[in-house]
Amino acid sequence: MKISVLEKEGFSSVMSSSSDPMTERLLCSICLDVFSDPVSTPCGHNFCKICLSTYWNNSQDCRCPNCKETFKQRPDLKINTTLRDVVDEHKKKCHEEQAEVVCDICSEGKLKAVKSCLVCQSSYCETHLEPHLRVSGLQKHKLMDPVKNLQDYICQKHDRPLELFCRDDHTCVCLSCADGDHKNHNTVPLREEKHQKHLSRLQKSSSDGSFKFWFLVVGLVLCLLSACLIQVYKDMQRREAETLERLESSKTEITELNMRNSELDLDMQRCEAVLKWMQQYAVDVTLDPDTAHPELILSDDEKQVRHGGIRHKLPDNPKRFDGYPIVLGKEGFSSGRFYYEVQVKGKTQWILGVVRESINRKEFITLTPVKGFWAVIMIIENYYLALGDPPVSLSLSVKPLKVGVFVDYEEGLVSFYDVDNRSHIYSFTDQSFTEKLYPYFCPGLNDKGKNPLIITPVIK
């Protein structure tokens, strides 16, 4: 294995940020990528211009994302030309040895390749890449940015793509290696290793508990988003086509009603009918104090939760969360359908959804379906994401005041609805549930005791 080549080409970016001191100094702390049009704040910190502008556009005040210094007036951002020249020179140096990769399929007048396939061991132009985006069998192949030396990304022992990272031996391995020489080692997907390194850097840079949580979640979401922006439009079109195909062949009432509402934007009357149908499966959800993070405060009736900002001394047990400020519902569900509603009125941050029983409750992990989380998040006011892999940005015309959560265990469906506006928010479909699922609540940061998450009665 040629790990140095993998790092140089940026394969999953697992080792680049930690092994290259210069790259580390040129990373924007918002997007965790090398600066693009860098600007400087009056307090002396540097960010990508678009990252800082977007951060301020979604904030109620104007402050530095790093040191939290607040500015009375929004600074006029000017590109730091000296830093930009340093970044450009660094990028040029990193890519000067990379020759242009051409399509292996073009017979004459070879076009520039846009992707390389680790399974086919070939590079493709946009036209010849199309089957990999359309044909179901080819969609499972591993695509990456075009490179000439594809053999360096293949395990020389088993002739399979290097998809995993062995944390014991600090090396990239294939699936066969993970079942062989590295069978009892701690191996994780390359993408997860990249995210964990970003999280570790964020944890180290923040000592305040509240800001640590905020930075962790923001860093996680932005990191995931940056990984999918390259082909976001093509991915959206592909998912839409796949969804339409599933709708045409669907035989169940819930899949047909819910997915048609989601993808075909049915009118208010149909959406209201779907929501009313789901509400017949309403269950009485109460919060489980034994699972509550030590900084959370629950009401006496166990229907409300807020973040108090102070870590209380509570008995530790395997059920209690110690990483994120999370609390679960008392009752789990291993079959059938269930529905509940949560008031989020006045909140600036929240996460709602369901989790499987065996999730890691003691560490910071990636909140994705692979890890056992099916959730929707409002990370900053009016900015919503479905925490998939990759995450999906949600454009909501109206800010939800009450969110309904519906689960069909056998159908592998988790849906979120804006109850008051009778509108669909997002659905996770075709999931495979094998454990008990529990309602999941995260009220976000301390807001001076105001606006808790409230489990409300379902009015049918």
Distance CA 218, CA 224 (A): 10
The type of residue at 235 is D
Per-position pLDDT tens, the chain of length 460:
333 334 333 333 333 333 356 667 788 888 777 898 999 999 999 999 988 998 888 888 899 988 889 998 999 999 999 899 988 888 777 665 455 789 989 988 889 999 988 888 889 999 999 999 988 888 888 888 888 778 878 888 888 888 888 888 878 888 889 888 898 888 888 766 655 555 554 444 444 444 445 555 555 555 555 555 545 566 666 676 776 666 666 566 665 555 554 444 445 667 788 889 999 999 999 999 999 999 899 999 999 999 887 888 888 889 999 878 899 999 999 999 999 999 999 888 899 999 999 998 988 778 899 999 999 999 877 789 999 988 999 988 899 999 999 999 999 999 999 999 988 999 999 999 999 999 999 998 766 556 899 999 998 7
Alpha-carbon gap, residue 213 to 325, rounded angstroms: 8
Task: Supply the pLDDT for residue 402.
Answer: 97
pTM listed for this prediction: 0.46
What one-character-per-residue DSSP string does 212-244 give?
A: HHHHHHHHHHHHHHHHHGGGHHHHHHHHHHHHH
Residue 326 CB neighbour total at 10 angstroms = 23
One-letter amino acid identity for 107?
Answer: S
Query: Which tokens in the block code for residue 416?
Result: 């979120």
**pLDDT value for 256:** 58
Instruction: Give the pLDDT of residue 13.
Output: 36
